[in-house]
Amino acid sequence: METYKQTALPLLYNKGNNVLEELQVGTEIECGMKCLLNTCTGFLFRTQEQLDDIQCYSTASYLDYTGTYNKTITGQTCQRWDKQSPHSHGMVATHIPETTLTEAENYCRDPDLTGYPWCYTTDPSIRWRSCDVMRCMAPGTNCRLYNDGTMVPHLHREGYDYFTVSN
| Domains observed in the chain | 11-50+137-167 (no CATH), 60-133 (2.40.20.10)
Alpha-carbon dihedral 153, 111, 79, 13, rounded to 10 degrees: -10
Residue 160, C-beta contacts closer than 8 angstroms, at least 6 positions apart: 12, 44, 45, 46, 47
Over the stretch 71-116, which tens digit does the pLDDT of each residue have? 988 889 999 999 999 999 999 988 898 999 999 999 999 888 887 8
Least confident residue range of 68-72, 100-104, 123-127: 68-72
Q: From CA 109, how far away is CA 46, in angstroms rounded?
A: 24
Longest C-alpha distance within the chain, in Å? Answer: 51
Torsion sign (Cα): 100, 106, 108, 114? positive
Q: How confident is the model at residue 51 (pLDDT cuts 50, 70, 90)?
A: low
Mean pLDDT for all residues in the chain: 77
Residue 163 and residue 55 in contact, taking contact as beta carbons nearer than 8 Å: no
pTM reported for the whole predicted model: 0.67
| Higher pLDDT pick, 135 / 31 | 31
* pLDDT score recorded for residue 12: 46
pLDDT surpassing 90 at residue 30: yes
